Structure 1
Amino acid sequence: MSASRPADITAVYPRRTAISQKGWLSFFEAAKNEIDILAYSALFLAEDARIVRLLSDKTEDGVRIRIVLGTPDGSNVMRRGAEEEIGEAMAAKVRNALTLLRPLVRRTRVDLRLHDTVLYNSIYRADDQLLVNQHAYGIPAAQSPVYHYRRTDPSEMFDSYLVSLEDIWSKGNPRMGDV
């Protein structure tokens, strides 16, 4: 067994809350072409007015933003709520995030889709960087590890997560009327 660390891993955080607001702002600020957000709710981002404003400003710079969140009444959002022992609160988090993101989603270059997929992780992308928030049974995403990847040559791990993100995006439901 090799003890070396893959070159595309930049950092590991013991939990999502270990990444400061400044860290999230810097991550998204670095994007020049595209930002992707794949999560059940991403409420922590939607509640942060500075991040939402930054995302809005990025669209003015020509950055494409894709957001794919869990279908609030979908079976997998309900299952995740049960697993985290918060029940209906998970669906409420998604609905709250959708409401808070409404002004952003109305902007040019911002697309939103809903998924009813079992997520094994949430993925946040800023061009050639990914923050991958692992999901562990019964543990809230905020308390779960995050891996920071940067595309390298080769980027086997980065590319695997990107394939997953693209697959879920392509299967997502563009329900803009609900937002």
Structure 2
Amino acid sequence: MELEKNKNELLVYIVVLLLGVIAIVSGQFLGNTINGIFTSIGTSILASAIIYFLLNHFVGSPILPIVSSLQKLDLSLKESVELLNQTSKVGLIGIWSRRMSIDNEIWIKKIKESKSTIDILGYAVHFLPEHYEFNELIETKNKEGCRIRILLGKPDGYYIKARNEEEKNEGSISDRIKTTLARLSPLLEQGFIEIRLHDAPLYNSIYKFDSEMLVTPHLYGLRGAAAPLMNLKEIDKGIFEIYNKHFEDIWSISEDYSLSKQD
């Protein structure tokens, strides 16, 4: 096989050299202008053939590294296309290694772009009401016709206590929930939002903005901010509808929260 390959290469060199010689010789029988052109072409062909021959036999083929790089690039592109094809089929349009990796302004942008629905499910979602624009923006979106539902953990619930133990920070989640409720009270009092409290084993936090959704899985002993974050888009038979059903299921079994019950 190697011998046959070498024979073919040698044949190619001979043919190329002959073409160069023919071009140079032909130029001698033509006019001055054509003579120069053919001589230049023939000389270039000869020089290229000689240089390639020397490089190939004493240094190694100069083409092989390029071919190898192109093959790797082609494989990488094919894998990327396949990955994009798979993610597009389930509606996954973005992913981050940690929720804290994205700027808070992205959350505010998602809220601003919402037209009909904002649904939030988590334990405390403490980071959102902390933003200085949040309450005013939620009020504005409600007045524009957007329904806003927020599902928080029941501060004294069984699963909240279990989650506290996982995070090895007893009481902190309950405190964060109470702080969130206090910050949301003005919105609830004026009817801009609906709040329910759940006591369920929560495997994900969900933030739905119309036909888009941000989802954070709950990992053992890890706060939500340090867990991965997925950005989903609503498509037929995609992941979005699975998480949307999850939200609705928990909403249906959770308790209404009102300020009058707290008095």
Q: Which digits, 9 at most, give the CA deviation of each residue in 1:124-173, with x for residues without a partner?
A: 01110110011100011000001000112x24210000000000011110
Identify which of 21, 35, 41 aligns with 2:124: 41
TM-score by length of 2: 0.65
1:103 to 177, 183, 186: 186
Q: Is the 8 A contact 1:45 1:52 kept in 2?
A: no
Q: CA deviation at 1:109?
A: 4.5
**Which residue of structure 1 lines up, in the alignment, with residue 220 of structure 2?**
137
Is 1:5 paired with 2:86? yes
Gaps of 5+ in 1: none
Identity of aligned residues (%): 32
Q: Deviations 1:74-129 (Å, cap 9, x if unpaired)?
A: 01111111101111111101011100111112233411100001110100011101
Unaligned runs of 5+ in 2: 1-81
Look up the equivalent residue of 1:131 and give its one-letter code: L
Q: Secondary structure at the match of 1:36?
A: strand
Q: Secondary structure at the match of 1:6?
A: helix
Does residue 92 (structure 1) correspond to residue 175 (structure 2)? The answer is yes
Could you list the per-position Cα deviations for residues 44-94 of structure 1 after superposition, in whole angstroms to 9, with x for gaps in the alignment? 112112122211111111111000100000011111111011111111010
The residue type paired with residue 6 of structure 1 is: T
Report SS of the residue matched to 2:128.
Answer: helix
- TM-score, reference length from structure 1: 0.94
- The structure where strand makes up a greater share of residues is 1
RCO greater where, 1 or 2, for CA within 8 Å and sep 6 or more? 1
Q: CA–CA distance in 1 between the matches of 2:169 and 2:214? A: 25
Q: How many residues align?
A: 177
Post-superposition CA distance 1:9-63 (Å, at most 9, x none): 1100111111211101111111100100100000111211212221111111111
The answer to whether the aligner puts 1:16 opposite 2:99 as a matched pair is yes
Partner Cα distance (1:21, 1:140) in 2: 17
SS at structure 2 position matched to 1:49: coil
Larger relative helix fraction: 2
